[in-house]
Structure 1
Amino acid sequence: MTPTDIEPFIGPTLAGWAGETTCLYLSNILQNRDDARLCRAVLMGDSGKAYAGDDQLCIDVDQLGATADLMVAPKVYCGDLATVALTVRVARRAPPMAPDLTEREMVRVAPAAGKLVPDEETGGFFPPEGRTVPRTPYIERRLQDGSLVIDGAPDLGLVIMPIGDSITSFSGAAWLDKLLRERGYRPRFTGTLQEYSLDMVRFGGPLGEGRPSWKAGEITNHVTGRPIIGGPGGPTTVAKFFAKTWPHWPQEVNSLGRAAKPSDDPADVVNGQVLDFGFYFQRFAEGATGVPPGRGVVKPTTYLWGFGTNEIKTGTAEEIEALAYASDAYFYRRVRAFDPSASIIRWMPGTFRDPVRDQIWTGKYIPLLKGVMRAIAERNDAGITLCPSWAFADQGGLGYPLREATPDPITGVRRTGSSGDAHPQDRLREEMFKAVAAYIVTAPRGA
């Protein structure tokens, strides 16, 4: 048997952590995922280091050199193979924390990402940059409950604005915070929403712009119906935007959009609205009218744009591809109108393996990826990076919620399968967001 298609959907960049294993799954980058059993992959770095395998290539990117070639070929060679040239980026751990920091009577602490922590000494709140304080019982309690962290990691100025759907909101940003901090970084997250914590406590995680059930096109208003502040069906003021809680405002409101004005360039107007980052960062700045203390947004160094799970729910393959292209191209243009130098990372979760979902991958996800990749290719902006996060996480059943099943009374075995829930679980989320974190710290800036 020969595979139906061997073209790998991975993009032009391969990033990973030095000294850590990065696993690339061939089935996750083929149009027909079941074709992986008929193919073999070879990854050859310009250093001379090569990896070869069937479905899974486990590699150390630090061994590859500056570039690598990925080749996919049928196991039964028929004269046809596909290759793609990859730029290799190696993420390295930040310098280690100062020794014996936890044993000193004085300690420098900072609030954990997205936390507003009372400062018993000043009567206010701990500043985001932290400060040095006596190691009192109060500080010990705050360290133990995770609201304060020992500020020994270097501040490399990494400010991340995660914009996405429920996979961002439901502890995705929290996983990024954890994985980056474990590798010596001290990221700061920004946005108008407080996302879920690692243990899925609502409003307990970092700040961001993760909105459950949203499509990228709803942020850009190519898909209409989501209210904006001051618009029909939306809160009338910023203060009212922050006053509501789930499932109403602010998660259901597009805080990034505003109503179009006569002076706007018609090319910037999408169905009566404009994605205006200059206005957004002014409206929600710390100290601005209606913004709660400690919740002001700051200009990010990295825009993290992550959608995909909801895009494939409606529309034909052609419509899905067209919407992905239009919304992504518009997003990049509007970010660049405000900030020419920030890095922009486009990532997308994969989806679980079963016969039905494999068909959806081929018929819906692949057209989506074509639109995503075309928007980046045509923009030709060195500061925009495609992170093929779908390629680095095992999409087998254990990464997703399983159907309820009764164990066999003798063997204890449960015969089960995917429950249909597309949200990755802890092991898979860690695998996926570890890859995203590597792309964050290695991403080049714009012009």
Structure 2
Amino acid sequence: MSGPSDLARLTDTIDTVDELLLSDEVKMMDVGNGVMRPANAKVQADLSTQLSGAMIYATAAHGLAGTVSGGCFSVPSDDSGKYVTLYRSDSGIATKIDDYPSASTVAALKADDNAMRFGPLEIKHTDLPGIYVTTDEGEVLQTLSDPGAAPAANHSLPFEGGLLFHPTIAVPENGELSIHVNNMLAHRDRSASVVASIASMTTGATGEGQVLRLEAQRFGSSAVIHLRPADNPDGRISMALKVLKVPIQSPLKQVKVLLIGDSIVNRQGSMLLKAYLEKLGFTPTMIGTLRGSASPTNIEDFTGEPGEGREGWETGDFTADIIDRLRIVVPGAEAAYMAMGKSEKQRKNPFVRAATGADPLEIVRNGYVFDPAFYQARFGLETPDIVINALGTNDVRDRTAETIAGHVYANDILMYKQIHAAWPNARIVRSLPGTAFSSDRNALWTTHYTPMIRAMRRALADYANAKVYMAPTWALVSSEAGYPLPTSNPDIDGFLPGNFLNTIHPEGAGRHGLYEALATYVAAAALSLG
């Protein structure tokens, strides 16, 4: 270094080295004579990109500080199952890319020619055909290669849609009553997913199963039903029951009964109800203008007991809320009506009259009034002690899922008010027949029967009169038996293939069971129990 020129070259060289090593700018530099070299910042950036995360930093903040945008870096993981977490620097933000397993995690995964183990799971070869899930001892728990039938629907919510029952139970003092659990559910096909039990509140009597049997002598005056999903031991719901024990009458007790209903009532209804009331020690007088059938099969028979069982009618047909079938008995035509044949007589409505200006608007329907007092006077009928409303099956047929509840509720309230306006001391029993267990009726049970039954219960609660009883007959009779047999030929084993011939109208045990259960509630009402 002999002069000023050499000192200048040295100064330039030092400046160039400083910039190469210390500059934060990622760039290529001319170091003289047209030779280009990367600055140290560029070297580090390129190295970080090339290593793709191999650069390990103590924290994500340190990684961001040492990595250019777009580059990757790694940070040791706090999870014992992981070694490091890989991040990408996105304009100063650490974006997680993936985790790398730790040595202990990798060690847990073992494989050879015969088996592979990952933690407690071992997959191994077998000489048996198929794929199996087994215990450590080789017991087959499930065959994955042959699953069989399609899995059943998810029934983890068997109570979806609500429950359909009433807490007052009437039972003969020396008899029993059966509660069919599937008919308490909005989705009847989910009953297999329910664990049901019944227990006395005053004795040691209990029972469980799909049919709960309550014996009057064993259960005392109060009981409770428990239901829970089969897959949920803690999901229990309960209903306390008041048990009305109906004593056999001695001496015999007179009772006058008006039974209002549809085709199910016409088909031996009044006759069977009378017979079961007689077994309870009553001497019933059945009231009505239309004799029902006494035949198990002939619906046109008219040798049964009086009542008002009209084939095809719904609640609104009686109240004139529905007028597409309305044909009134005009005043003065009573004798002609009584002389009619059964088919013609069934089409007439003996309860309604034309409205007058004196009638409150709340009881007028389409210009007519449902008037039991008018009905009694014009036909010279006795005053009933008990009036039964057994309607609803044809509301299912004619009303929509959206309108059936409001329709039935309004007609129930109107009938309660008008019956008591005519006969203040009458007891009213509201009941509803069930329907057979079949795919089409089960669908209607969910969409129509469920909102209708809930509307019936709401009307009972809103009317709030102790003289009105609810008989939950829909749940007291089997839906799996007591309906007409199919007409097919027997198979090789002697069985008749096919569903019930009629899934709406019970017969045999179904018909008898309906009126045996209803008779007990009628008797309880006649005795003012409850």
Q: 1:309 & 1:271 partners in 2: Cα distance?
A: 23
Three-state SS of the structure 1 residue aligned to 2:171 is strand
Pick from 166, 170, 177: which aligns with 1:15?
A: 170
Pick from 386, 411, 415: which aligns with 2:497?
A: 415
Q: Does 1:395 align with 2:495?
A: no
CA deviation profile, 1:43-79 (whole Å, cap 9, x unmatched): 2222134433221112213332222222211122253
Higher Rg: 2
Pick from 422, 437, 443: which aligns with 1:353?
A: 437
Any residues of structure 2 matched to 1:210-289 within 5 Å, and which? Answer: 210-225=309-324, 226-230=326-330, 237-248=333-344, 250-285=345-380
Q: Does 1:365 align with 2:462?
A: no
Q: 1:82 & 1:323 partners in 2: Cα distance?
A: 30
Q: 2:219 & 2:465 partners in 1: Cα distance?
A: 25
Q: In the alignment, what sits opposite 1:115?
A: none
Three-state SS of the structure 2 residue aligned to 1:430 is helix
Pick from 270, 293, 317: which aligns with 1:173?
A: 270
Q: In the alignment, what sits opposite 1:197?
A: 294
Pick from 196, 214, 220: which aligns with 1:41?
A: 196
TM-score by length of structure 1 reads 0.79
Q: 1:271 & 1:281 partners in 2: Cα distance?
A: 22
Three-state SS of the structure 1 residue aligned to 2:196 is strand
Q: 1:227 & 1:375 partners in 2: Cα distance?
A: 27
Q: 1:176 & 1:432 partners in 2: Cα distance?
A: 9
Larger CA deviation: 53-62 vs 315-324: 53-62
Three-state SS of the structure 1 residue aligned to 2:414 is helix
Q: Call closer, same or farther: CA 1:423–1:15 in 2, change over 3 Å.
A: same
Following superposition, the deviation at residue 42 of structure 1 comes to: 2.0
Pick from 187, 202, 211: which aligns with 1:56?
A: 211
Following superposition, the deviation at residue 155 of structure 1 comes to: 4.5
Asked whether the equivalents of residues 271 and 305 of structure 2 are also in contact (C-alpha less than 8 Å), the reply is: yes
Asked whether the equivalents of residues 267 and 296 of structure 2 are also in contact (C-alpha less than 8 Å), the reply is: no
Number of equivalent positions: 371
Q: 1:179 & 1:354 partners in 2: Cα distance?
A: 29
Q: 2:243 & 2:206 partners in 1: Cα distance?
A: 14
Q: 2:286 & 2:255 partners in 1: Cα distance?
A: 9
Asked whether the equivalents of residues 220 and 257 of structure 1 are also in contact (C-alpha less than 8 Å), the reply is: yes
Q: 2:518 & 2:437 partners in 1: Cα distance?
A: 21
Q: 1:299 & 1:307 partners in 2: Cα distance?
A: 21
Q: 1:307 & 1:300 partners in 2: Cα distance?
A: 18
Pick from 250, 256, 261: which aligns with 1:164?
A: 261
Q: Call closer, same or farther: CA 1:279–1:68 in 2, change over 3 Å.
A: same
TM-score by length of structure 2 reads 0.67
Percent identity between the aligned chains? 28
Any residues of structure 2 matched to 1:81-160 within 5 Å, and which? Answer: 81-95=236-250, 154-160=251-257
Q: 1:421 & 1:247 partners in 2: Cα distance?
A: 23
Q: 1:85 & 1:380 partners in 2: Cα distance?
A: 19
Consecutive unaligned residues of structure 1, counting only runs of 5 or more, are 96-153, 286-296
Q: Does 1:431 align with 2:513?
A: yes
Q: Call closer, same or farther: CA 1:85–1:312 in 2, change over 3 Å.
A: same
Q: 2:280 & 2:207 partners in 1: Cα distance?
A: 28
Any residues of structure 2 matched to 1:259-338 within 5 Å, and which? Answer: 259-285=354-380, 297-338=381-422
Q: Does 1:79 align with 2:234?
A: yes
Asked whether the equivalents of residues 207 and 213 of structure 2 are also in contact (C-alpha less than 8 Å), the reply is: no
Asked whether the equivalents of residues 159 and 187 of structure 2 are also in contact (C-alpha less than 8 Å), the reply is: yes
Q: 1:256 & 1:204 partners in 2: Cα distance?
A: 22
Q: In the alignment, what sits opposite 1:133?
A: none
Q: As a proportion of its length, which structure holds more strand?
A: 2
Q: Call closer, same or farther: CA 1:224–1:49 in 2, change over 3 Å.
A: farther
Three-state SS of the structure 1 residue aligned to 2:342 is coil
Any residues of structure 2 matched to 1:25-36 within 5 Å, and which? Answer: 25-36=180-191
CA deviation profile, 1:371-421 (whole Å, cap 9, x unmatched): 11111010111111110001111111x41113221112x422221212244
Q: Call closer, same or farther: CA 1:60–1:78 in 2, change over 3 Å.
A: closer
Asked whether the equivalents of residues 40 and 52 of structure 1 are also in contact (C-alpha less than 8 Å), the reply is: no
Asked whether the equivalents of residues 158 and 185 of structure 2 are also in contact (C-alpha less than 8 Å), the reply is: no
Q: 1:305 & 1:315 partners in 2: Cα distance?
A: 18
Q: 1:8 & 1:72 partners in 2: Cα distance?
A: 10
Q: In the alignment, what sits opposite 2:489?
A: 406
Following superposition, the deviation at residue 80 of structure 1 comes to: 2.2
Larger CA deviation: 72-81 vs 266-275: 72-81
Q: 2:504 & 2:306 partners in 1: Cα distance?
A: 23
Three-state SS of the structure 2 residue aligned to 1:442 is helix
Three-state SS of the structure 1 residue aligned to 2:383 is coil
Q: Call closer, same or farther: CA 1:427–1:357 in 2, change over 3 Å.
A: same
Following superposition, the deviation at residue 18 of structure 1 comes to: 2.1
Aligned partner letter, 2:269: G
Q: 1:207 & 1:347 partners in 2: Cα distance?
A: 19
Following superposition, the deviation at residue 181 of structure 1 comes to: 1.7
Following superposition, the deviation at residue 23 of structure 1 comes to: 1.1
Three-state SS of the structure 1 residue aligned to 2:312 is coil
Aligned partner letter, 2:207: A
Three-state SS of the structure 2 residue aligned to 1:24 is strand
Three-state SS of the structure 2 residue aligned to 1:157 is strand
Following superposition, the deviation at residue 438 of structure 1 comes to: 0.5
Higher relative contact order (CA 8 A, sep 6+): 1
